Amino acid sequence: MPLLVIRHAESVENADKYNGFYQDPRPYSGTAAHAISRTIVGLTPRGFRQAQWLAEVLPQLAGPGPHVYTSTYRRAIDTAAIALPNLRDGWPRRTALLDEQHYGDATYMTKRELYDSYPALAEDRRLRKHIWTAPGGGESLAEGVLKRAAEFATLAQAELQGACTVVAFTHQTAAVALRSLLELRTLPEILAEERKGKMPNAVILHYELHDDRFTRTGTTTPPI
């Protein structure tokens, strides 16, 4: 049975990043910014169409009765609701294991503001992004996000062994961590690929479990 990892459809943050959310100077605190990111940011019209495309292709890929999980962020929840509207009672289930990286007080800061506000963190953010730990209660990709991804991978493995397809609606950073774990590759290697071309919104990453090991079997990219 497959594990399907899906980056949420295009959000208003994705589409208008530098004109809207990343203003300089930032007009809100880190706490307010994180609350906005989690609860307010929804899908663009293009994102809605991407989610409708997912609704066309996912039923065949996932089969009957998939176990569907979303992050606790609105943009992932909305993508799942449009893509798979007719699930059994109790699904989808929300889990913080699939959440976006928590950027703490740096949420929605431009790089200039970040480096000026936290100069001691600048070198890690520039050169070792995977170990950079977001200030003010945030987390690093290499520790916080990767740990959560490992817990989700363990959950998915148990459900796949029970002959059930697992579908995960998540975010770019969590998907990077999952790729590292499932494909047995380092975070810097995955991030180097991301610099060449970031994972598209609504992309579907296909994995199969064989002999307790995951294998990447394909990618389905939205035409929109």
Summarised one tens digit per residue, pLDDT across range 171-212 is 999 999 999 999 999 999 999 999 999 999 999 999 999 998
Beta-strand relationship, 67-70 and 166-170: parallel
The tokens describing 108, both together, are: 């929605």
pLDDT digit string, tens, across residues 56-96: 999 999 999 999 999 999 999 999 999 999 999 999 999 99
pLDDT at 181: 97
Side chain identity, residue 177? A
Q: 36 vs 1, 10, 33, 41, 53, CA distance in Å?
A: 36, 16, 5, 6, 27
pLDDT at 17: 74
Q: 39 vs 46, 74, 75, 116, CA distance in Å?
A: 20, 5, 8, 28
Residue 112, pLDDT above cutoff 80 = yes
CA proximity to 68, closest of 85, 50, 47, 51: 85
pLDDT at 205: 98
Residue 106, pLDDT above cutoff 80 = yes
- C-alpha 193/C-alpha 191 separation (Å) is 5
- Terminal Cα distance for the chain, rounded: 27
- Cis peptide bond upstream of 85, omega within 30: no
pLDDT at 78: 98
The tokens describing 91, both together, are: 């699904």
Full set of structural domains in the chain with CATH: 2-14+43-102+140-220 (3.40.50.1240)
Chain-centre distance for alpha carbon 162: 25
Is 0.95 surpassed by the pTM of this model?
Answer: yes
pLDDT at 150: 98
Residue 20, pLDDT above cutoff 80 = no
Q: Dihedrals φ, ψ of 14, to 5°?
A: -60, -45
pLDDT at 16: 78
pLDDT at 1: 84
